[in-house]
Amino acid sequence: MHTENGKTLEALRAELESLRERQRELEVRLARQEEQNRETLARVALAEQQATRLTRLYVASIHLHEAKNPAQVLEAIQEIITNIIGSEEMAIFRMDEDGRALSLVSSRGVEPERLRTIPLGQGPIGHAALSGQTFIAPTPLRAGEAPGDAVSACVPLCLEERVYGAIAIFGLLPQKQALEDVDHELLALFADQAAPALHRAELQGRYAAASR
C-alpha cells in the first residue's frame, strides 16, 4: 500500500521507529547531562559548605584569642554559640579547685539556680566533665525545652590534659534542626581553644591587678 506521496506504509513505520529511537537516545543523553549537572552542583555546594565551615572556624578562633579578660572570653563563647551553632540557651562552668564539681560562671537563656553546682559524674554535664568526652544528644532540645538535666550537647574544656571546665548547650533555635558536622567541629574548637583562652585571660587579669 502506498500513501499519497509514494511512501509505503511500511516505510513510514520504519521512519517513525527511527525517529522514536533517536528520541530515546536524546532522552538518555539528556538524562546523563542532567545527572552530571547535579553532580557538579553537589560538588560546588560541598565546596561552598567547606569554605563556610573554615570561615566560621577561623572567625570563632579569632574571637576567642582577641578577648582580653575572662568576661570577654565568656561573651565570645556565648556569641559563637548563638550566632554560629544556633542556641540562646547555654551555661559555662569552671572546675572547682578540688576537682569534684563544676561551678557555673556564666549562662544565657536558662535558669541559673539549678545549674550553680554540678557534681562530677552527675547527669550528662557532670559525666562529660568526668570522662573528658564531648556529649551530643541523639535528639537535640528545642528552645524553651529543658526537661530535667537534659542537654543538646556538653563540651568539656581541657587544659594540658585536665578538665578545666565545660560548656552546656540546651535548646536550639527553631531554624536549627540538628547539630551538623560543622557544629561538631566548632565544639571541638571549644574543647581545644576555649580553656586556654579563658586561662590566659584569667592570668592576664591577675597580672594587671597585681601591677596596680
Q: What is the DSSP string of 141-201?
A: PBTT---TT--SEEEEEEETTEEEEEEEE-PBPTT--S--HHHHHHHHHIIIIIHHHHHHH
- pLDDT (mean) for 166-181: 89
Mean pLDDT over 46-72 rounds to 79
pLDDT, residue 65, reads 79
Residue 182 confidence (pLDDT) above 80: no
Looking at the predicted structure, is the pLDDT value of residue 132 above 80? Answer: yes
pLDDT of residue 116: 92
| Amino acid 5: pLDDT | 54
Chain segment 82-112, per-residue pLDDT in tens:
888 889 999 999 999 899 999 999 999 998 8
What is the C-alpha separation between 125 and 155, in angstroms, rounded?
8
Is residue 176 pLDDT above 90, yes or no? no
Quick one: which of 180, 169, 186 has its CA closest to 54? 186
Alpha carbon separation from 190 to 89, 124, 138 (Å, rounded): 16, 17, 20
pLDDT exceeds cutoff 80 at 54: no
Most confident of the following: 99-103, 156-160, 208-212: 99-103
